[in-house]
Structure 1
C-alpha cells in the first residue's frame, strides 16, 4: 500500500523561513527513529492507523458515480501498475498529460486519512470531476454501499500469493507506517494467518473472483500482464470503454512497463515521505517467481497445503513462475 504522505508531514506553507526540522521533512523523509501509530482492527481486519475506523465508516456511506473507474487490489499485488495503466487508458495515451501530474493525484488512494493537518482523501475524491479514477485496497464486503448499486467499472488486479507475500514483507521494511518484520520467517506466519494489513490474501482475492462475471468487474492477473502487457491493456481499455488509439498503443505499453515506471518520478514515489529511501525503493523487482529466493522448503510445503485447501473448487489458478 502506498499512501501519499507528501502533504501530511509538512505544515502549510507560510512566509517565514523553514526551521531545520521542516527542511528535513522537505527532503522527503521522516526521521530514522519515527515510530508509526499502532495498527487497529476494523471488522476483524488489521488496518493501519492512517486509516481510522471513522474513515472506513464514512467510505461505506460515500457517493459513488456510475462513471467512476475503480482500481482494486490486495496490497503489493500490482496496485501502482493498475493505477498507471488505468490513467494512461483514460487519458487516451496522452503521455505528456500523464507525466504532468503525480500518480496519486490522478488516481488517489481512497482510504488515506485524516492524519494530522491532512483531511481524509475520500472527502477530496467527492469533489473530483467525472470520470473519477479511484484506487482502493478495500475487500469486497467493505466497498461503499453505493458501489454495489451504481456498479462503476472496476479493475481488480490479482497476484500470486507467494510473490505478494515477499513483496509485502519487503514493503514493511521501507514504509514508515508499517510494523517491521526483521526476517521473512517472522512475517510468514502472520501472512498465512491473514493477520496483516487488509487481512487474508485468500479472502480478498476470492471475494472479487466470485464476482468476476459481473459486468462491472474485470479480474486481471499480474502474471498475465507480465506475459502480455499489450494484450491486457487493450482488454482493460475495451472494458472501460476507452479504447486506446491504434497509433499510440505501443508507446502507451512501453510507458507502462515496470522498468519505465521504476524510473518515472510521477509513478515511483521517489519523493514520498512514507518511504524510508535509505532502506530501499518503492519499486523493487516486479518479477514472477522471486518467492523462490525467500521461501524455505518447509514454508513452501506449509503454504501449498493451505493454498490447496482454500482454493479448492474456486477455479482460480495462478502462475508461480514464468
Structure 2
C-alpha cells in the first residue's frame, strides 16, 4: 500500500471539541461514524485499544514484530506504523480513512488500533470474538503525555497551559473523553469478555521482556526465546524514537519543534509537572472516581 502524501492537508485551524454520544470528540473521529459503527471485524483480528498516549504505538509495534517481523523485512523499513496498524475511527480529508485502510490490510491477522471507549467499539468485534489488547497508563503520567501531544499536534484542540489542560483532563473534556471512564469501562469488560488482555504501561517499562511473553501467551504464539529477545530490544523506547517508521515524524500535522511524538516514555515524569496543590486536588478527584473499581495503577516503579 502506498504511503499517502499528506503535504496538502491543511490543518491550520485546530478542531473544536463537541459532545458525541456522551464523549468529547472532534470531527476527525466522527465524520466516518457510519462506517466505523458498521465495520466488519474478523475472528482473527487483533484490536489494540487505549486511551490516547498510553502506549498504543509501543504495543502496536510489538505485535507487528511478533507476527510479521520475520516474513517481511521491507515492511519494517518502508511502511510507517500507522499504515500497518490503521487507526479505525480516524478520518482526515486527503488520506484514506481508518476503516478503508483496515478493510484493505493484506495481513492476517489484521492489527487495528482504536482509542474508543468500550461502549463505542463496533459490535462486530464482540460478535466475532476478536482478540483485544487494552493498554492502560496511570492517570498522572497519561495527562502529562497527552498535554505535550496536544501542544505539538495541530489536529487536536488547543490545550492551553498545563494548569488549564489538567483541569479539562480531570473533567473528561479532552478528545476521547474521561480517562477514568475509559480505563474503568474496559476493565469491567475484561470481567465478562475472555478474549481481552488488559496490560499496563508501567509493567511494560518495568520489564518489557516479561510483557512480550505475556502477549505471546495470550495470543497463543510459540515465538522462540531468541526472537522474543530481539523484539524486546527492537521495541525499547530509544530505538523506536529513532525509527522513522514508528516515531510519526512523517506526519506533517505534528510539530516536532514543539515536542517529539515520542517524548520520554517514562513512569513518574508527572512529578516534574504537577505542583503540590495540583497533586492534592488530583488525588481527591481520583479517589472519588476510582472508588468502585478494582483496577490498580502505579504512579512510580
> TM-score range, shorter-chain basis?
over 0.9
Native 8 Å contact 2:14 2:158 kept in 1: no
In structure 1, stretches of 5+ residues that fail to align are: 1-5, 12-24
Shift of 1:97: 4.6
Which residue of 2 is the match for residue 7 of structure 1? 4
Indicate yes or no: 2:226 matched with 1:229.
no
TM-score (norm 2): 0.92
Matches within 5 A, 1:192-207: 192-207=170-185
Shift of 1:223: 0.2
Native 8 Å contact 1:93 1:249 kept in 2: no
List structure 1 runs of 4+ shifted beyond 6 angstroms: none
Aligned residues: 296
Which residue of 2 is the match for residue 18 of structure 1? none
Which residue of 2 is the match for residue 244 of structure 1? 223
Q: Could you give the per-residue CA deviations for residues 78-109 of structure 1, whole angstroms, max 9, x where no partner exists?
A: 11111111111112556835523211111111
Indicate yes or no: 2:121 matched with 1:143.
yes
C-alpha separation in 1, matches of 2:88 and 2:188: 23
Indicate yes or no: 2:93 matched with 1:110.
no
Query: Using a 3 Å threshold, how does the CA distance of structure 1 residues 40 and 109 change in structure 2: closer, same or farther?
Result: same
Native 8 Å contact 1:73 1:157 kept in 2: yes
Which residue of 1 is the match for residue 58 of structure 2? 81
Q: 2:197 aligns with which of 177, 199, 218?
A: 218
Which residue of 1 is the match for residue 187 of structure 2? 209
Which residue of 2 is the match for residue 3 of structure 1? none
Give the secondary structure class of the aligned counterpart of 1:210.
helix
Which residue of 1 is the match for residue 293 of structure 2? 314
Q: Could you give the per-residue CA deviations for residues 17-70 of structure 1, whole angstroms, max 9, x where no partner exists?
A: xxxxxxxx8xxxx78xx2223233211211122223x42232111111000011
C-alpha separation in 1, matches of 2:113 and 2:68: 16
Q: Could you give the per-residue CA deviations for residues 244-298 of structure 1, whole angstroms, max 9, x where no partner exists?
A: 2222121110001111111111100112112112212111011100111111111
Which residue of 1 is the match for residue 42 of structure 2? 65
C-alpha separation in 1, matches of 2:70 and 2:266: 25
Native 8 Å contact 2:57 2:246 kept in 1: yes
C-alpha separation in 1, matches of 2:70 and 2:283: 41
Which residue of 1 is the match for residue 17 of structure 2? 39
Give the secondary structure class of the aligned counterpart of 1:50.
helix
Native 8 Å contact 2:171 2:178 kept in 1: yes
Give the secondary structure class of the aligned counterpart of 1:66.
coil
C-alpha separation in 1, matches of 2:74 and 2:283: 44
TM-score (norm 1): 0.86
C-alpha separation in 1, matches of 2:195 and 2:232: 24
Native 8 Å contact 2:209 2:229 kept in 1: yes
Coordinate RMSD, CA, aligned:
1.9
Which residue of 2 is the match for residue 156 of structure 1? 134
C-alpha separation in 1, matches of 2:269 and 2:295: 21
Which residue of 2 is the match for residue 298 of structure 1? 277
Native 8 Å contact 2:83 2:101 kept in 1: no
C-alpha separation in 2, matches of 1:128 and 1:235: 26
Native 8 Å contact 1:93 1:244 kept in 2: no
In structure 2, stretches of 5+ residues that fail to align are: none
Indicate yes or no: 2:267 matched with 1:267.
no
